[in-house]
Amino acid sequence: MIELSHIEKRFGDNVILRDISLLIPEGTVTALVGPSGGGKSTLLRCINLLEIPTAGMIRIGEETTTFQPGKKIGWQDIQKIRRQTGMVFQNFQLFPHQTAIENVMEGLVTVLRWPAERARDRAVELLTKVGMAHKMDAWPSTLSGGQQQRVAIARALAPSPRVLLCDEPTSALDPELAAEVVDVLGRLANEGTTMVMATHDLRLASKIATSVVFLEAGNIVETGPSRTLFGAPTQERTKQFISTLNAGHSYDI
């Protein structure tokens, strides 16, 4: 279970997130959608404390961290939350000087202190899962964007995190390459992987998400099952947003 309670994020006088409270059950996929600047990526980054909330509470599993204005959070508290998350970034962020399999092994060996042989076995298992075993010895520069993102997903899954966080995982890819990533994430969802994703990709959100959270100006406008929110939203603002997307960009939120 992931619980966010009254999360607020400020940068100076600029309020990015306002009183965000969510419950995300294990084994579900939650899509954060909304117009650019609405707070989707900031909320995602707050879950694993790449951004430290100004106020509120985060609980992942048995670990709870509370935030207050002016109160500094200790590194150990940050690590307790962060160790339970895996992060997939928009621009892949693979190490260019390491092969695909070395990228997946890196955190296991250097952070978790796994023996190299055990780390390699885990990396091979995950690269096979994402359809990249045949490219395990390839350099990132020789891989397509979709292939790089699939390696990045394998890397994020390597330490068996409680939740996989995906920040615009398909936005840097053309539709054909994005489809590869959607398929991989769909298989993970079917296997019960807990995911939270900030996305502009309607295909990704509608195909994979269990529930959808529509954010605008740092507020939750509406939340509900993906089929309901995309098919019959209750809030007028959500209706406007979805109808604009459907009219102009059949696959793009």
Name beta bridge partners: 56.
67
pLDDT digits (tens, 9 = 90+) for 47-93: 999 999 999 999 998 899 999 998 999 999 999 999 999 999 998 99
Q: How many CA atoms lie within 13 A of 128 on its CB side?
A: 6
**Residue listed under structure tokens 């292939």:** 147
* CA–CA separation, 97 and 62 (whole Å): 37
Give the percent of the chain with pLDDT over 90.
Answer: 76
Q: Predicted confidence band at 250 (pLDDT cuts at 50, 70, 90)? A: very low
Residue-level pLDDT at 252:
39
pLDDT digits (tens, 9 = 90+) for 103-151: 999 999 999 999 999 999 999 999 999 999 999 999 999 999 999 999 9
Residue-level pLDDT at 245:
63
Q: Record the pTM.
A: 0.91
Residue-level pLDDT at 231:
87
The helix (run of H) or strand (run of E) holding residue 206 is: helix 202-208
End-to-end CA distance of the chain: 27
Find the mean pLDDT for residues 140-164: 95
* CA–CA separation, 80 and 83 (whole Å): 6
CA 28 to chain centre: 13
Which structural domains are found in the chain, ordered by start? Answer: 1-84+196-253 (3.40.50.300)
Find the mean pLDDT for residues 151-165: 95
Cα torsion angle, 84, 125, 165, 209, sign: negative
C-alpha radius of gyration, the chain, whole number: 18
Asked if the model's pLDDT at residue 247 lies above 70, the reply is no
Q: How many residues does the chain have?
A: 253
Residue-level pLDDT at 129:
94
pLDDT digits (tens, 9 = 90+) for 179-232: 889 999 999 999 999 999 999 877 788 889 999 999 999 999 999 999 899 889
